[in-house]
């Protein structure tokens, strides 16, 4: 839905839709948790806010880069670039947290990276033409990886809250921050885009609903398991993306792209085994 909105709203406008129209649905989810569980709202400490703010900024960048990549290449290939994210989470763990990489993890990184390279190269030496979408896709995966880690940090900082209340509350705060920051930026720099986003509310509402439900499921999972394992399981999105690309967008996948996608799938599967 967001990809289709790029045509009328542009990359920033389509990015804004997920957060602006997703926030009301996330708020309803939080209200439902309050009503059906009787749990009180969490009382976040100071450390909660930097975590969520970092997650907000990186998610905005990740979504914008993702949509830009989708505009450059087919939907399924753009999604495959993003699926290098679990591998990047493992790398960030080594660089930031000092988590050691085992030999199976290194093999997984090499295999997945090989898949990305194969997808990015065109036959007959046309590699340069695909450099931009490759960088956009990989950059988006990196930002999503950082966003997952920082949002999980915010969820875990809400000590004493259940695995349902903590992620749902964090999602509402995160969407409120994201929608506010993007609305302010668009109002100051591109008011026409903000107005167009508000006018396109009919198709945007469904995109917002799907975005809110997807984020709620991601956040619930982050409360239960590491970001790397959760985002690795999200690899099934490649299969759904393949179906959507073929049946909705009518975009065929070449043999070379299919080989690259398979290698990315194998690489992330190896990462699961290595864990």
End-to-end CA, the chain: 34
Of 93, 97, 96, 78, residue with least CA distance to 139: 78
What's the pLDDT band for 80 if we cut at 50, 70, 90? low
Quote the CA–CA distance of 204 and 3 in Å, as a whole number: 11
Residue 114 — very low, low, confident or very high, per pLDDT cuts 50/70/90? confident
- Averaged pLDDT for residues 245-268: 74
Name the residue ranges covered by the structural domains of the chain.
2-274
pLDDT tens per residue across span 57-69: 998 888 778 777 7
- Residue 128: per-residue pLDDT: 47
User: In Å, how far are 111, 121, 211, 240, 242 from 128, measured between CA atoms?
Assistant: 22, 8, 33, 29, 25
Q: What is the pLDDT of residue 236?
A: 64
Which sign, positive or negative, has the C-alpha torsion 89, 92, 94, 96? negative
Residue 94 has pLDDT above 50, yes or no: yes
Count other C-beta atoms under 10 Å from residue 101's C-beta: 14
Confidence of residue 77 (pLDDT cuts 50, 70, 90): low
């Amino acid at each position: 839905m967001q990809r289709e909105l790029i045509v009328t709203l542009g990359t920033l406008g389509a990015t804004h839709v997920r957060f602006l129209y997703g926030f009301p649905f996330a708020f309803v989810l939080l209200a439902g948790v309050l009503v059906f569980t009787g749990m009180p709202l969490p009382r976040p400490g100071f450390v909660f806010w930097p975590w969520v703010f970092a997650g907000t900024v990186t998610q905005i960048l990740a979504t914008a880069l993702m949509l830009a990549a989708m505009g450059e290449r087919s939907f399924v290939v753009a999604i495959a670039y993003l699926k290098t994210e679990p591998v990047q989470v493992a790398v960030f763990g080594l660089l930031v947290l000092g988590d050691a990489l085992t030999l199976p993890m290194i093999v997984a990184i090499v295999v997945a990276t090989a898949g990305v390279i194969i997808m990015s190269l065109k036959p007959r030496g046309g590699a340069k033409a695909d450099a931009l979408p490759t960088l956009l896709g990989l950059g988006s995966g990196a930002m999503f990886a950082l966003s997952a880690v920082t949002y999980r940090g915010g969820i875990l900082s809400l000590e004493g809250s259940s695995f349902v209340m903590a992620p749902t509350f964090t999602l509402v705060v995160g969407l409120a921050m994201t929608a506010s920051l993007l609305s302010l930026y668009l109002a100051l720099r591109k008011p026409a885009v903000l107005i167009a986003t508000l006018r396109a509310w009919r198709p945007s509402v469904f995109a917002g609903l799907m975005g809110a439900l997807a984020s709620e499921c991601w956040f619930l999972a982050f409360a239960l398991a590491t970001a790397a394992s959760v985002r690795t399981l999200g690899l099934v999105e490649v299969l759904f993306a393949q179906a959507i690309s073929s049946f909705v967008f009518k975009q065929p996948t070449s043999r070379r792209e299919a080989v690259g996608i398979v290698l990315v799938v194998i690489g992330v599967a190896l990462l699961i085994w290595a864990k």
